[in-house]
Amino acid sequence: MASPVSIPTRLGWPGQQEADLRIHNAKLKLTRPRIALARLLFSKGDRHFCAEQLHEEVLASGVEMSLATVYNTLRSFCEAGIIRVLPIGGKPAYFDTDVSDHQHFYIEGKADFINTGRLRVSDLPELPAGMEVVKVDIVIRLKPSPKA
């Protein structure tokens, strides 16, 4: 395992070492926005969020950063595989810091996600020649029952 990278600690957020290592291990350039967002994201354990929510958290922490920078940084994190986009469609896009294989319940109208754990998927259609399954994303959409 690579040794931790020396990064200025002025930002002082919890989860600093884990966040810095995720950026380093993904072979991303260590920029201030990446460091700031990673430290904020990974200091709270696994979570679901949209860019607008994260932008508000960044500003509340005292760090100046544009929403465009948040979006660009999240895109680079997705491309590097340290976060993932949740497949619900629409705006805003939601992200997950847990990139392991797991599925979600999505509560419509609340933009709330609940991890379901692993599901067994069977009877997939025949794959085109030369292709393999990388990931199966499943989101089960929920709404309050009128009977409740």
Q: Which domains does the chain have, with CATH numbers?
A: 16-85 (1.10.10.10), 98-142 (no CATH)
Q: Tens of pLDDT along 109-121? A: 777 777 776 777 7
* pTM for the predicted model, two decimal places: 0.72
CB 118 within 8 Å of CB 101: yes
* Nearest residue to 36 (alpha-carbon basis) of 22, 53, 19: 19
CB 133 within 8 Å of CB 127: yes
Classify 93 as helix, strand or coil: coil
Q: Give the pLDDT score at 69.
A: 96
